[in-house]
Amino acid sequence: MTKISTGIPGLDDVFMGGILKGDAVLVQGTPGAGKTTLGLQFIYHGAKFCNEPGMVITFEEFPQQMYRDALNFGWDLQALERENKLRIISTSPGVFQRQVQDAQGIFQQQAREMKVQRIFLDSVSHFQRITTDPVQLRELMNSFLNTLKQGGFTTLLTQEVAHEERGVVSFEQYVVDAVIRIFVLEVRDFDRKRFIEVLKARGQNFISGKHAMQINEQGMRVYPRPMARRLYRASSAAVADSARRVPTGIGGLDRMLEGGLIEGFSALVAGDPGSSKTNFALQFLAEGVTQGERGLFIALRESPQKLMNSARSIGLNLEQMVNDGNIHILHHSPIQIDPDALYWEIEETLQKQTFKRVVLDSLTDLEPSFHDDIKRLRDYVYALIDLFTQHNITSIVTRQVGEETADKEVVESDLAMVFDTILALRLRRIQDHIRKTLVLLKVRGSNHDSGVRLFKVSNEGILVETKFEPTSRFLRQLQRL
Amino acid sequence: MPTSHNGWLRAVLDSPAKVELLAFFYLNQYTVDDAAGLSRWLGLDLEKVSIAAEELSQAHILTKIGEGKDAVFTLNRDEKIQEAVENFIKTYYLPLDQRHQILSDLLQGRTIPRD
């Protein structure tokens, strides 16, 4: 079975290589979901890049509107028409039905002349203009699809649905080979986002679930749901013993970690607000630069300028490191983050450039995008960490935890299992002073210092005092946590 | 017999429905539809569109395939016809002020003014 590219970046990945040639694919969605854009992109891609001429049959939208809208994406459909690689035909369902089933009809004749391979029909909902009888409609669809199949065309058909419910199954879903559903869902009470889901694909595998989708100036793009590609590594001291240590550059912490983080492993730096999580991350990357290792800082809160100022306060010239190409900052405002799009942007960045260290600051800014879907958030972080591991990247992910959150909760949370190392940074009142403390809650596959340590942040960086003698009151406080 | 001269085309276009229909076919060149379908695309009365389509096909501007209510119309792909249609549309139809003037003249029984 031959697969053909849909021309929609990411959608072929969802279909694990593309849709099957000769199949009929139904695209369902509410008005404005992007069905027509998807169809036009499929046709344009085939005609322009795959030497597969296409035919668009429209029952409602004027071709002139399609030409105009496509031009907004840079697709000159009329130029393709002049090259005989495309026809956009406005017609009525009844006329189309009669003509397409007649071998000498105008559609079949044009398809033969142009060697059409892709057809986009917008939309089958209009067949109801021929009949509203469900039995007749089904017969009509079946007969129509059989004609197209015999012609060897790969066909995309759109269908309007009245609402976003998935439970309703239309008969059209049964008679086609594959079904794609586009959802426009409200997020964060003030925004709407598009998702795409393959509900069915006869004879081929696909990635299930909802995938984020965007329409930008280049057209439609799908961001397949990030998934870890391999099983999570087992906890094994043997792994750690043979692994290279990656020093964090934080005085005292490397001693606690018996040399540093394990190469390719990931650490969660969880802490109270203002406990210097970002500074830990900055120092980790800066240490990498001194060791000749390039770093990527994924900043979801602080702007690059703010990060540079923060770095300066701990004696680091981040600006210089960025200018020298040793550190790359990938910044997105937390308000506009699409986590799936971010994942694929990171993936592309890692494909194009080599990094040995990565920081994600912070997970807290990403969490609202998951709308309390903890399982999806965990799977996402799992996939992200897996991506870093595939590139043999040692990573630090920061996360804010509330002061009232006990360390035990941090370790036992759903997210904790994803990380090899968990470091808790706390602000504690000790003898009428607010002190910064650090404890290694988890270090997979390695011995470590499990004591509670004080640390200081100065213009010379972070220094962990590896000899900390707490008062009995502080110890009681810790026990309560 | 049609020629590429605009005068001939202006003589044929003696009703608003014909002008609208021709403009629709010019902007959506590969339309294949029956009179009912064309009436729906244009939002015009079926009878007026049927007459206009029939007369444009008799003038070889449209091609008629089939007979009766199942007959479908397409734009004649002959180069000279295409050229005349394009000239007419670009000159008279696309500029909005001239388009309104033409339709107004036709509604009042006047012919389209010559150059």
Domains in chain A and their CATH numbers?
Answer: 3-223 (3.40.50.300), 237-480 (3.40.50.300)
Q: What is the pLDDT of residue A479?
A: 62
User: Of 1.10.630.10, 2.40.110.10, 1.10.10.10, 3.30.460.10, which CATH number belongs to B6-107?
Assistant: 1.10.10.10
More confident residue, A243 or B55: B55
Nearest CA in chain B to A90: B31
pLDDT of residue A473: 61
User: How confident is chain A (481 residues) per 10-residue block, as mean pLDDT?
Assistant: 95 96 95 95 98 97 96 97 97 92 88 96 92 89 89 95 73 90 81 90 93 95 87 45 84 90 93 92 96 96 93 95 97 86 95 97 89 85 93 95 73 82 88 86 82 90 75 61 58
Output the pLDDT for position A297.
Answer: 98
Tell me the three state secondary structure of residue B71: coil
Please tell me the distance in Å from A54's CA to the nearest CA on chain B: 13
What are the chain A neighbours of B27 within 8 Å (beta carbons)? 62-64
Average pLDDT over chain B reads 84
CB-based contacts of B108, cutoff 8 Å, min separation 6: none
Any residues with CB less than 8 A from the CB of A305 and at least 6 apart, and which?
none
Q: Please check whether residue A199 is in contact with residue A213, taking contact to mean a CB–CB distance below 8 angstroms.
A: no
Residue in B29, B70, B74 closest to A98 by CB:
B70
User: Which one of B28, B65, B70 has the shortest CB-CB distance to A62?
Assistant: B28
Closest CA to A278 of A286, A266, A287, A269: A269
Q: What is the pLDDT of residues B20-42, one digit of tens each?
A: 999 999 999 999 999 999 999 99
Coil, strand or helix: which one is B76?
coil
- Quote the pLDDT of residue A24: 96
CB A157 within 8 A of CB A93: no
Chain A residues whose CB is inside 8 A of the B34 CB are 92, 94-95
**pLDDT classification of B1: cutoffs 50, 70, 90:** very low
- Binary contact (B31, A63; C-beta < 8 A): yes
- A&B contacts, CB < 8 Å: 49
Residue B4 has pLDDT above 50, yes or no: no
Residue A189: its pLDDT value, please? 67
A-chain residues near B86 (CB < 8 A):
none
Question: Does any CB of chain B come closer than 8 Å to the CB of residue A130?
Answer: no
Q: What is the pLDDT of residue A373?
A: 81
**Contacting residues of B for A43, CB less than 8 Å apart:** none
Report pLDDT for A322.
97
Mark which residues 54-93 of A lie under 8 Å from B by CB. Answer: 62-64, 81, 87-92
Domain spans of chain B? Answer: 6-107
Residues in chain A closer than 8 A to B30 (CB atoms): 63, 81, 87-90
Most B CBs within 10 Å: which of A65, A80, A90, A113, as the mutation test of the B interface? A90
